[in-house]
A = this chain, B = another copy of it.
Amino acid sequence: MVKIKKEKSTEDKILAAAKKIFLKKGMAGARMQDIADEAGINKAMLHYYFRNKDKLFEVIFLDAAEKFFPKVNYIFEAEMPLFEKIEYFCDEYISILVENPYLPVFVLNEINRDLEGFLTNIWKKDRLPRPQKFLEQIEREIKRGTIKRISPVQLIMNLISMTIFPFVGRAMFQYNMNIDDMQFRMIMEQRKKEIPKFIIDSIKK
């Protein structure tokens, strides 16, 4: 007989709950009890499946980093004209962040907290963004004379900053510009087109 209700396995329930709690509270602020409650199971189960808090966190963090970064490389290293690449980057990346709005502040905060730990041990080199090709592409376009002279590093910082920061400062923006969740989502949708336009208007000759 085919199951109608797709019952999640206990492990999946734990992972979903852990993701929610860790992303909201961070590693240090999260409580194993909160995760167990959220998953609707017993605290002992967490240890049965994931041994300890560190291990559970590692799974969640790597999964989050996986979502947060690798798409970047795919886009950065694609064979595509510069302007098109900028448009593609904003569209793809904002789509991810709209679906996972707490990702940036979570990942970036944990990295800042324990740099050595993550970068040297947990984290593999190939998970990190590799902007090299993108930087070179910008330099080529400058030499070719299709865009204005600008430091490639500055340009890439502008692009990434405008794309990610609204999600980091979301609470601040929403609170003091009186923007509700629906409006925020709409503004982010607009940014998919707005950021590329803003950049291209600035650098095109």
Contact = CB atoms under 8 A, between A and B. Distances in A.
Interface of A: 24-29, 102, 105, 108-109, 111-113, 115, 119, 128-131, 148, 150-151, 153-154, 157-158, 160-162, 164-166, 168-173, 175-177, 179, 187, 190-191, 194-195, 198-199, 201-203
Tallying the copies of this chain within the complex gives 2
Contact of A177 (B25, B153, B198): B153
A201 B202 contact: yes
A105 B109 contact: yes
A6 B150 CA distance: 47
A153 B187 contact: yes
11 contacts: A25-B28, A26-B109, A27-B29, A28-B29, A105-B109, A105-B112, A112-B171, A150-B198, A153-B187, A157-B162, A160-B165
